[in-house]
Amino acid sequence: MLTKRMLRRKLRVLFMGFAVPALIVVSLSGCAADGVNNGHRSNNQKVETYGHDGYMGYSNSNPNLPNNLTFLNYDSDRKFIGQVLQPIGGIKDSRVSFNGENLNVHITADSKLTNKQIQALEAKAQKAVQFNMPRYHVKVTASR
CATH of the domain at 108: 3.30.70.1350
Helices (H), the chain: 4-14, 20-31, 58-61, 74-85, 115-132
Three-state secondary-structure class, residue 13: helix
Asked, for residue 126, whether it belongs to a domain, the answer is yes
pLDDT in tens, 82-105: 999 999 988 999 999 999 889 999
Q: What is the largest CA-CA distance in the chain?
A: 111
Asked, for residue 57, whether it belongs to a domain, the answer is no
Asked, for residue 110, whether it belongs to a domain, the answer is yes
Q: What is the dihedral of CA 62, 69, 101, 137, to 10 degrees?
A: -60
Number of domains in the chain: 1
Three-state secondary-structure class, residue 59: helix
Residue 6: which pLDDT band, with cuts at 50, 70 and 90? Answer: confident
Asked, for residue 59, whether it belongs to a domain, the answer is no
Model-level pTM? 0.52
Going by C-beta distance under 8 Å and a sequence separation of 6 or more, which residues neighbour residue 80?
132, 133
Domain range for 88 is: 74-143
Region of 35 on the Ramachandran plot (φ > 0 left; ψ -120 to 50 alpha; else beta): left
Helix (H) or strand (E) holding 97: strand 91-99
Asked, for residue 111, whether it belongs to a domain, the answer is yes
Asked, for residue 108, whether it belongs to a domain, the answer is yes
List, as own/partner pairs, every contact residues 70-76 make where C-beta atoms lie below 8 angstroms and the sequence separation is at least 24, other chains included. 74/98
- Beta strands 40-41 and 36-37, pairing class: antiparallel
pLDDT in tens, 41-87: 566 666 666 666 565 555 556 556 665 555 667 888 899 999 999 99
Provide the pLDDT for residue 31. 53
Asked, for residue 16, whether it belongs to a domain, the answer is no
Residue 125: which pLDDT band, with cuts at 50, 70 and 90? Answer: very high
Asked, for residue 38, whether it belongs to a domain, the answer is no
